[in-house]
Structure formats: C-alpha cells, structure tokens
Structure 1
C-alpha cells in the first residue's frame, strides 16, 4: 500500500461510518491504526476522531473517554495532541 493512499483510505472509511454503512467499532480500530501509521501524533486527525466518537455523531461520552484513555499512557507531554483530553472535556459541556 502506498503511503500517499493511506490518508484517503482512512478518510473514506470515516465517511462510510458517518453514513452508517460501517460499524463504529470497526471504523475506530481501522482509523486509529491509519492515524498512527501516517503520523502518530497528528492533532487534526485525533480531533476528528473525537468529533466522530461524540454523541452528536452517533457515538457516546464513554467512547470519547475510552479513546482519550487509550492515548494517555503513550502520549509524550509535548506532543501536538497533548490537549486532546482537555478538548474532550470542554466538548462535553
């Protein structure tokens, strides 16, 4: 698989999930792997995952917290995604 095709494939998977043609659990795993393969700490990709997992898009607060909890142990304090946890907390209110 060409490296340049990875972002497009992940975006397509997320679009299909938003349309309800792919289960949320399958999309989360595949999209998370794609984000890590492309750029482990890509801020915008992580923020899009937060939005996708939010209740406004058919997810739940629990799914958002699970996603944030899966990032926390591995994230360096100076990573561009360091504020993802804070963003999730602010979005909840």
Structure 2
C-alpha cells in the first residue's frame, strides 16, 4: 500500500511538471507568433473589406451611405474579434 501511494505521488509530481512545461511552451507560442500576427491579419481583413466596398463609391450609381455602413460593419466585427482574442489571451 505504501509503495502504491509513493508511486502515485511520483507520477502526479511528474505530470504536474509536464503540464507546466506544456503551458510554458504554449505561452511562448502565443506571445511570439499569435500576438504579433493578430493586428496584421485584422488589418488585411479591413483592407479587403474596404476594397470590396469601393464598388459602391466608384461608378455612376454612388452609394456613400452603403459604403460607410460596410466599413462600420467591418470595424465592428474587427473590434469584436480583437476583444474576444484579448479576453482569451488574458486568461
């Protein structure tokens, strides 16, 4: 019985150490790769959205209101995604 408990304690100790190492690796991955990439990807999405809405401003049938609504919609989605990612990364 004593041998089993000591073996269980030893395995528990090693599993906690491995979980700490995995957590450290994931934190490094997020801080090195994910955090710098988020503004770049979001900026590209915003630029693509603006270019997609440019057809509403150019040409004979101009729709400035539709263009502004499209840009505001893209900004709202962008801010929601940034808020969600920030919340996930903070916890």
TM-score, with normalisation over the residues of structure 2? 0.30
Structure holding more helix per residue: 2
Bigger Cα Rg = 2
